[in-house]
Amino acid sequence: MNQSLCDQCVEHIFNQYYPFFCLTIEEISLIGTDSFPIPSFSCEQVQTLFLETHDTIKKQGPLINVPLPAYIVGDIHGNFHDLLRVLLSIDDFLTKTIVFLGDYVDRGSYSLDVICLLFALVCKYPSQFYLIRGNHEFEYVNSQYGFKNEIMERYGDDNLWVSVHKFVFNFLPLAALLNNSIICLHGGLGPNVTSIESIKKIKIPVSGYTVDDIVSDIVWSDPSNEYTTFINSTRGTGYLFGRLAVYEFCKNTNINKIIRGHQCVQHGVNTLSNGQIVTVFSSSNYSNRNNSAGFIYIDEKEEVHAKILHAIHFINRSDAIFTEVIPTPPVRKVDHSNSISFMRLSSFKLSKSSFGPFNKTIGISSINNKSMYSGQGMKKQCFIPMPTSKSNGPEGCSIFPNLLD
């Protein structure tokens, strides 16, 4: 596939998620019902997305520099609904800088949907959306905690699972440096993480966290109030690091704050070491713990602002309605500032639920009360996706069926 067709395929995938961006926070819990079916892509489309993401990130290296202000999002763990809740809680999120701290897959049942949306965002907006690697973006881990099985169940083999590591996960940065004074990484510090230069020396691609001790430290370690320096982690990999370890690292590197994920915290955001360590976790009701999801905003003055989203319940993947997108890419790119078009879709379901009309749940009267856009629907402002083809040609349609019926 030539570069033009690859670009069109990524654009096509992005277009299928774009209507979700006009939902209200309350409507997100309905995603996966017959009102808001989830787009599902062919193996060829997903593979193309992986290759395009590879081309976007392959030269980023182990440490990326990100300007402020920026939003920081913690572990998602296959929680597609909370990923959308976080994004839609950020005003005009497509224009903002957002850093994700890793652990996109496993535990939750929508891992593939999470990475497809994130990869599409990274490909379209590479200077605004940044992904760093967590411990669950390694084969040894996600072969055991759900991601591999999810791909096997959807496609019948593990080819895409192999590809996403080879072309994307192995190339993800291990850390992000904000304003040269705030470091973002997935887990934390270890005795091998001695300086910013030590992170820069990590050789990308990284196939496994055991090939380099500093990689293991970064993706597996956790802070602790019980110890002052380092002790082997109870996880079996990485370290527990104490307040003195944090103080020494920050003093030697001129770092003011360490932003990390890796741990489920009850209220979504938590601080330690007098605010020098901020833990962010962005998947609510993780393993039925009824925890909140959180994310943070760091302004130009390096002040940290937390946003908390209470736990929600949503449809299980086994009961969800999916809409299969035909493999043919669109013949042209779409200007989202003016209009949006879609290819014809066919529906399928993984449960007894039936496919129903859009206005079964949200009537036209409620739609009319919203501010109508064409092609932009941020923050409770909704658009109606309109077909762009002529009446005597193939119709375009949205993933919201019968909207105009």
**How far is 295 from 280, CA to CA, in rounded Å?**
6
How many other C-beta atoms lie within 10 A of the C-beta of residue 227?
15
Contacts of residue 208, defined as CB under 8 A and 6 or more positions apart, other chains included, come to 138, 139, 140
Choose, from 12, 136, 186, 336, the residue flagged as catalytic. Answer: 136
Instruction: Output the six-digit token pair for 165.
Output: 């590591």
Nearest CA to 62 out of 165, 197, 181, 166 is that of 197
Sheet containing 70-73, strands listed edge to edge, beginning at the edge strand earlier in sequence: 129-131, 98-100, 70-73, 293-298, 304-309
**How far is 64 from 312, CA to CA, in rounded Å?**
33
Residue 336 a catalytic site member = no
Nearest CA to 331 out of 3, 2, 1, 5 is that of 5
The HSE-up count of residue 34 (CA atoms within 13 Å, CB side) is: 11
What three-state secondary structure class fits 261? coil
Name the residues annotated as catalytic: 136
